[in-house]
Structure 1
Amino acid sequence: MHYLEAFERSVRVHGDDTAILTDDGRSFTYDEFDRRSTELTNAVTDAVGDSPLAVLTLNGPAAAEAMITGHKRGTPTVQLAFRGTAGELVDMVETAGADALLFDDANADTAVDVIDGADLSVGFHAGSAAVDHPDVVDYEDALDAAAFTLPDRLPADGKTNIFYTSGTTSAPKALAFDGEQMWTGAYQGVMEHGIDQTDLAIVTTPWYHMVTSDAWLYPHWMAGATVLLHEDFDPAEVLELVEDNGATGLLAVPTQLSLLNDVQENAADPYDTSTLSYVRTGGSVVTEELVERTSEFLSEHLYNTYGMTEGGPNFTFAHPSVQDDHPGTIGKESFSWELRVVETAPVTEHPDPEAEVGPGEQGEIIARGPGVPDGYIDNPEAEEKSFFDEWLRTRDVAEVDEDGFLYITDRVDNMFISGGENIYPAEVERAIDGHPAVAETLVFGRDDPEWGKKVTAIVVAEADVDAEELDDFCCKHDGLANYKRPREYVVREEPLPRTDTGTVQRQQAIDRHFD
C-alpha cells in the first residue's frame, strides 16, 4: 500500500475534521488540506514539470502541504534543513535535482541565495514579507490560480520524499523514499502509540527530520488525528499549547524534554499536562534521570525510540511500561524491522550478520526491513559503506541485556549527538582548519546536562588566536551550520598526538585537557 491511499481514506472519512492547527490560531480540515495540496501539486507541475520541489520552511501548513504534494506528484518533495547555510542548501538542492523552492518569511533571505545559487526556475513564497526577485511568486496566489483536481496522469510511479543526513564528509547525504516506504513508517507509528482520530499531537521538532515526518506527522494524518504545528520551539509556549488544546501526544528530543521539565519544576503553577497519553523522544541518549523527571513533571507515558534517516521508520521503541525495570533502554525492534547486534567491524568493512553478540556484550546494530531505501543519491562510496546485501549498518554500538532490551553505548566512528542533531567531527574540524592561525583541530562531544553532548574543539594554533576569534570565524563560515559550531575551545601549541601511521590519538588528546 502507498501512503497516498491512506491519506485519501482519511479525507473520505474525516473530511470535515481538523487535520492541522497552527500556533498562531489557524485551522485546516482534511478537505482543505487535500484541496490545497492538490493545488500545490498542479502549481509545481505546471511550473517545473516532473522536477522535484525543495522546501525551506519552519513548521507550518506549507511544509505539510508539500509533504502530501510529493505523494500526489509521484515526484519527491526535498525536505531541506532550515538550519543549513546557503552553500550547504545549494548543494542539497542540486543533488536532488530540484528546480523549484518553497520557502517562508523566516527563510526568505537564504532562499533567495539558494534560488540564485542553484539557478532554480521558480520560488514559491509562503508569507507576507517583501521579496524582490523576478522568479519568486506568491504561494497563495499560485494555489488560487491552480486546478483543484488531480490530473489522471498523476501520481507518477516515482519517489515521494528526499531526506538528508550529514555524512562523514562535509557534504550531506541524500536518500529518496517512495510512498510504500512512507506508508510502512506511518502504520508503524500508529501501532506504536495507538494513535486514533481522537488524538491531538503537538509537533515541536523540525518537520524535515525523518522522525517528525514519517514517525509523527504521517501516522497522525493516516489515523485522521489532528496535529498542531509549533513553528519554533519555546518550552513555555509548548506547555501552554498542551494545556489549552488538551493535547494527547507530544514529540520532543531529550534536550527539549529537559527544558520542558525545567519550566514545570520551576513554575509556581505548573501547566496541566494530564491529557498527554504518549510522549515520544529519541535522537540522543535518554538517561534514567530524564525518564524520572519527565514522569514527575510532564507525563508517565514516555516512549523512547531509536532510528536513523537511512532506515526510514524508527528501528526500535520502548513502551513506557518497560522503563522501571530497564531504565534508559531503546527497547526492542519495532513492527517492520529485524535487528541484530553483531560484532563490530571497521567502517571500511561490512559486519558479519551471523556474528551476533550475547547478553551483556556490546556490538553494532544492523537492520533490515521494507523501510530501507535503495541507497544514497549520487554517493556510491558512502552507499557501499552503509548498505550491504539486505542489511543497513547503523554504526551504533549497543549492549543487549538478559531480556533482549537494547541500550546505545557508543558509535563505531566518532559521530555524536548534540541537542538532537548529528554532529560529525571531521566536518567541523575542516571548517576550523580553514582559519589562517590554525594548524589542526580535534572536535568531540563533551558531556553536557542540557545538550547531551556539547560541541568542543581542541585547536592547535600556529599563530596568536583565542576562543572568541575562532567562534567568530565559525559563525561567519558559509559551510558550517550554527548548531555544529563549537561551544568550547581549548587552544594549544603542541601538535596532536598521533600513532606511527599518522592517526590522531583522540582519547589521549581529550584526556590531556579534560581529565
Structure 2
Amino acid sequence: MRFFDAFRRTVRCHGGETALVAEDGRTFTYAELDDRSTRLANALTARLGDGRCAVLGGNSPAVIETMVTGHKRGAATAQLPFRGEAEEFVRMCESADATGLIFDDDNRETAEEVLARRDFEAAIHVGDADVDAAGVESYEDVLADADPTLDEALPADGECSIFFTSGTTSRPKAVPFDGEQLWYGAIQGVMEHGIDRTDAGIVATPWYHMVSSDAWIYPHFVAGATVVLHSDFDPAGLLEQVEELEATGLLAVPTQLDAVVDAQQSLERDTSSLEYVRTGGSVVSERLVERMSEHVTDRVYNTYGMTEAGPNLTFSLPEDQQERPGTVGKEAHTYEIRVVEPVPVTEHPDPEATVDAGEQGEIIARSPGCSTGYIDNPEAEAKSYFEDSESGENGKWLRTRDVARIDEEGYLYIVDRVDNMFVSGGENVYPVEVEQALETHPAVSEAYVFGVDDERWGRVVSAVVVTSEGESVTEAELDEFCREESDLANYKRPREYTIRAEELPRTSTGKIKRGAITDQASE
C-alpha cells in the first residue's frame, strides 16, 4: 500500500473535516488540501514533466501541499532544510537534480541567491513580498490557473520525497523515499500513539525533517486527524495553541520541551488535553521527563531514529521513561533491530554477532519502510547499507553507527556514536556517557565531551559545561562530583573543563553540533 492510497481514503471519508490549522488561524479541510495539491501536481507536471521540485519554506499549508503533491506526481518533493546558506541549497538541488523551486517570503532572499546560481525550469513564490528574480510565478496564481482534476496519468508510482541528513559531521546526503516506504512509516506512527480522527497534533519541529513528515504529519493524515502547524518556535505561543485548540498531541525536540516547561511555570496554561508528546533527536534526560510530568503532561514518548530509517527505529512509552530512565525503548513496529559487535566503518558488521544483555554494541536495522540508499553518494551508501543471506524481502541492513546497551528485557539505551568514540589509555570512551553523568549535577544544564591529544594517554577527556541559569560551578567541584557522585570509571573522568553560560549550538532536531564546539574549545 502507498501513503497516497490511505490519504485518498481519508478524503473520501472525512473530506469536510479539518486537515490543517495554520499558525495564523486559517484552516483547511481534507477536501481543500486534496484540491490544492491536485492543482499543484498538474501545474508542476506541466512545467517540469517528471522532474523533481525542491521546496524552501517554513511550516505552512503550502509546504504540506507540496508533500502531498509529491505522492500524486510520483516525482519527489526535495524537502530543503531552511536553516542554511544559499551555496548549501544549490548543492542540495544539484544532488537531488531538482528542476523546480518553490519558496516562501521568509526564505525569499536566500532563494533569490539560489536562483542566481542555478537554472530551474520553474520557480514559484509563496507570499506577497517582491521577488528580485526573473520568471518567478505566484503560488496562488499557479493554483488558480491549474486544472482541478488530476491528470489522467497521475498518480504515478515513484519517489515521493527526498530528505536530507542533518550533516552535523559531514555534508548532508540526499535520501529518497517512495509512497510504500512512507506508508509504512505513517501507519507505524498511528500504531505507536493510537491516533484517530478526533486528535489534533501540533508539529513544532521543521516540516522537512523525517520525524515531522513521516512520524507526525503523515500518521495524522492517515487517521483523518488534524495537524496544527507551529512555525517559528515560541514556547508561549505553542502553549496558547495547546490550550485554545485543545490539542491532544505535540511533536517537539528536548530543547524545545525544556523551553515549554520554563514558559509553563509562569503562564500556567491548561495543557490537560495533551495525550501524547513525542520527542527524540537527542538524549531525553530523566530531569526533563520529571519536569514535563510536573508542569505539562506525563505522557512523554521517547523515540530514536535517523533520516535513513524513516520515522523511528525504537519507541518508548511514558511508563518506560519512568521505570527505565534514559531508555529509547524497543524496536518500533515494522522494524527488526539488532545490537551487534561493532566493527570499523570500512567493514560491515555481522548481523549474527549480537551482544549479550548488559553489553554495548552497534545498532543495525531493517524494515520495508527503510530507505535503500542515497541519491548522490555511492561511497557513503556502501558504508551505510549492506545485505546478507537473510536479505531480500526483509530489505537491506541499515548501519546506524550508534552504540547502544541492551538490558535483559530488550530495552535499548543509546551510549554514543561509533564515530565519536575515542581511546584513552587503551580504553574506549563514549562522550555521551560522560555528558549524561555531568548533566546530573544540579548546576549543569548541558555538557559536551570530546578527546584531546595527550602524550601519556593518547587522548584524555575534555568537557565543555554549560551552567544552569543563576548557577555557578568550579572545575574542582565538577571533578569532585565525577569522583564521588557518578559511576564514571577514572579514565572517563574529564581532565579539563571549559565552563560557560552560553548554550551549546544545536541542529533543528536538538543534536549537538559537535564539530563546531570542538573547534571553539580548541581555539
Which TM-score tier does this pair reach, normalised by the shorter chain?
A: 0.7 to 0.9
The match for 2:344 among 343, 346, 358 is 346
Q: Give the equivalent residue in structure 2 for 1:398.
A: 404
Q: What is the alpha-carbon distance in structure 1 between the residues aligned to residue 522 and residue 352 of structure 2?
A: 46
**Mapped pair 1:11 → 2:7:** no
Q: In the TM superposition, what is the alpha-carbon distance from 1:170 to its structure 2 partner? A: 4.3
Query: Partner of 1:172: helix, strand, or coil?
Result: coil
Q: What is the alpha-carbon distance in structure 1 between the residues aligned to residue 9 and residue 463 of structure 2?
A: 45
Query: Partner of 2:520: helix, strand, or coil?
Result: strand
Q: Give the equivalent residue in structure 2 for 1:489.
A: 520
1:306-317 paired onto structure 2 within 5 Å: 306-317=304-315
Q: Give the equivalent residue in structure 2 for 1:329.
A: 327
Question: For the Cα contact (< 8 Å) 2:183–2:369, is it kept in 1?
Answer: no
AA aligned to 1:313 is P
Q: Give the equivalent residue in structure 2 for 1:422.
A: none
Q: Give the equivalent residue in structure 1 for 2:298.
A: 300
AA aligned to 2:317 is H
Task: Quickly say closer, same or farther: Cα 1:282–1:169, change in 2 above 3 A.
Answer: closer
Q: Residue deviations 1:293-337, cap 9 Å, x none?
A: 111111111000010001112111001122222111100001100
Q: Give the equivalent residue in structure 2 for 1:209.
A: 209
**Mapped pair 1:182 → 2:188:** no
Q: In the TM superposition, what is the alpha-carbon distance from 1:7 to its structure 2 partner? A: 0.4
Q: Give the equivalent residue in structure 1 for 2:364.
A: 366
Q: What is the alpha-carbon distance in structure 2 between the residues aligned to residue 256 and residue 286 of structure 1?
A: 12
Moved over 2 A (4+): 166-171, 414-418, 444-450, 481-492
Task: Quickly say closer, same or farther: Cα 1:329–1:82, change in 2 above 3 A.
Answer: same
Q: Give the equivalent residue in structure 2 for 1:412.
A: 418
The match for 1:284 among 282, 285, 301 is 282
Q: Residue deviations 1:425-473, cap 9 Å, x none?
A: 99xxxxxxxxxxxxxxxxx9845578xxxxxxxxxxxxxxxxxxxxxxx
Q: In the TM superposition, what is the alpha-carbon distance from 1:482 to its structure 2 partner? A: 10
1:419-438 paired onto structure 2 within 5 Å: none
**Mapped pair 1:115 → 2:115:** yes
Q: Give the equivalent residue in structure 2 for 1:507.
A: none
Q: Give the equivalent residue in structure 1 for 2:458.
A: none
Number of equivalenced pairs: 443
TM-score by length of 2: 0.81
Q: Residue deviations 1:5-32, cap 9 Å, x none?
A: 0000010011111000011111100000
Question: For the Cα contact (< 8 Å) 1:121–1:135, is it kept in 2?
Answer: no
Q: In the TM superposition, what is the alpha-carbon distance from 1:346 to its structure 2 partner? A: 1.0
Q: Give the equivalent residue in structure 2 for 1:440.
A: none
**Mapped pair 1:44 → 2:50:** no
AA aligned to 1:99 is T
Q: Give the equivalent residue in structure 2 for 1:91.
A: 91
Gaps of 5+ in 2: 388-395, 422-430, 436-448, 451-461, 469-504, 506-511
AA aligned to 1:354 is E
Question: For the Cα contact (< 8 Å) 2:115–2:133, is it kept in 1?
Answer: no
AA aligned to 1:396 is D
Question: For the Cα contact (< 8 Å) 1:363–1:398, is it kept in 2?
Answer: yes
Q: Residue deviations 1:78-133, cap 9 Å, x none?
A: 00000011011100001111111111000001011112222112211111111132
Q: What is the alpha-carbon distance in structure 1 between the residues aligned to residue 521 and residue 230 of structure 2?
A: 37
Q: Give the equivalent residue in structure 1 for 2:383.
A: 385
TM-score by length of 1: 0.82
Q: In the TM superposition, what is the alpha-carbon distance from 1:491 to its structure 2 partner? A: 5.2
Task: Quickly say closer, same or farther: Cα 1:243–1:211, change in 2 above 3 A.
Answer: same
Q: What is the alpha-carbon distance in structure 2 between the residues aligned to residue 208 and residue 168 of structure 1?
A: 16
Q: Give the equivalent residue in structure 2 for 1:128.
A: 128
Question: For the Cα contact (< 8 Å) 1:37–1:69, is it kept in 2?
Answer: yes
Q: What is the alpha-carbon distance in structure 1 between the residues aligned to residue 221 and residue 4 of structure 2?
A: 11
**Mapped pair 1:144 → 2:140:** no
Q: What is the alpha-carbon distance in structure 1 between the residues aligned to residue 300 and residue 168 of structure 2?
A: 32
Question: For the Cα contact (< 8 Å) 1:273–1:298, is it kept in 2?
Answer: yes
Q: In the TM superposition, what is the alpha-carbon distance from 1:228 to its structure 2 partner? A: 0.8
Q: CA RMSD in A?
A: 2.7
Task: Quickly say closer, same or farther: Cα 1:97–1:404, change in 2 above 3 A.
Answer: same
Q: In the TM superposition, what is the alpha-carbon distance from 1:490 to its structure 2 partner? A: 3.7
Q: What is the alpha-carbon distance in structure 1 between the residues aligned to residue 145 and residue 25 of structure 2?
A: 26
Q: Residue deviations 1:247-282, cap 9 Å, x none?
A: 0000000000111111122x0x41110000000000
Question: For the Cα contact (< 8 Å) 1:342–1:364, is it kept in 2?
Answer: yes
Q: What is the alpha-carbon distance in structure 2 between the residues aligned to residue 156 and residue 228 of structure 1?
A: 29
Q: What is the alpha-carbon distance in structure 2 between the residues aligned to residue 200 and residue 115 of structure 1?
A: 37
AA aligned to 2:175 is L
Q: What is the alpha-carbon distance in structure 2 between the residues aligned to residue 40 and residue 252 of structure 1?
A: 29
Q: What is the alpha-carbon distance in structure 1 between the residues aligned to residue 377 and residue 52 of structure 2?
A: 19
Question: For the Cα contact (< 8 Å) 1:365–1:397, is it kept in 2?
Answer: yes
Q: Give the equivalent residue in structure 2 for 1:2.
A: 2
Q: What is the alpha-carbon distance in structure 1 between the residues aligned to residue 36 and residue 463 of structure 2?
A: 43
Of 341-350 and 195-204, deviating more is 341-350
Task: Quickly say closer, same or farther: Cα 1:487–1:246, change in 2 above 3 A.
Answer: farther
Q: Residue deviations 1:397-443, cap 9 Å, x none?
A: 1111122110101110039999xxxxxx99xxxxxxxxxxxxxxxxx
Task: Quickly say closer, same or farther: Cα 1:400–1:449, change in 2 above 3 A.
Answer: farther
Question: For the Cα contact (< 8 Å) 1:83–1:483, is it kept in 2?
Answer: no
AA aligned to 2:250 is L
Question: For the Cα contact (< 8 Å) 1:291–1:328, is it kept in 2?
Answer: no
Query: Partner of 1:378: helix, strand, or coil?
Result: coil
Question: For the Cα contact (< 8 Å) 1:203–1:229, is it kept in 2?
Answer: yes
Q: What is the alpha-carbon distance in structure 1 between the residues aligned to residue 464 and residue 175 of structure 2?
A: 30
AA aligned to 2:406 is V
Question: For the Cα contact (< 8 Å) 1:83–1:482, is it kept in 2?
Answer: no
Q: What is the alpha-carbon distance in structure 1 between the residues aligned to residue 316 and residue 40 of structure 2?
A: 38
Q: Give the equivalent residue in structure 2 for 1:173.
A: 173
Q: Residue deviations 1:369-392, cap 9 Å, x none?
A: 111222011211100110010210
Task: Quickly say closer, same or farther: Cα 1:487–1:30, change in 2 above 3 A.
Answer: farther
Q: Give the equivalent residue in structure 2 for 1:511.
A: none
AA aligned to 1:489 is Q
Q: What is the alpha-carbon distance in structure 1 between the residues aligned to residue 27 and residue 409 of structure 2?
A: 46
Q: What is the alpha-carbon distance in structure 1 between the residues aligned to residue 117 and residue 170 of structure 2?
A: 18
Query: Partner of 2:165: helix, strand, or coil?
Result: strand
Query: Partner of 1:291: helix, strand, or coil?
Result: helix
Q: Residue deviations 1:455-510, cap 9 Å, x none?
A: xxxxxxxxxxxxxxxxxxx9xxxxxx999854983455xxxxxxxxxxxxxxxxxx
Gaps of 5+ in 1: 419-424, 427-443, 451-473, 475-480, 493-515
Task: Quickly say closer, same or farther: Cα 1:489–1:373, change in 2 above 3 A.
Answer: closer
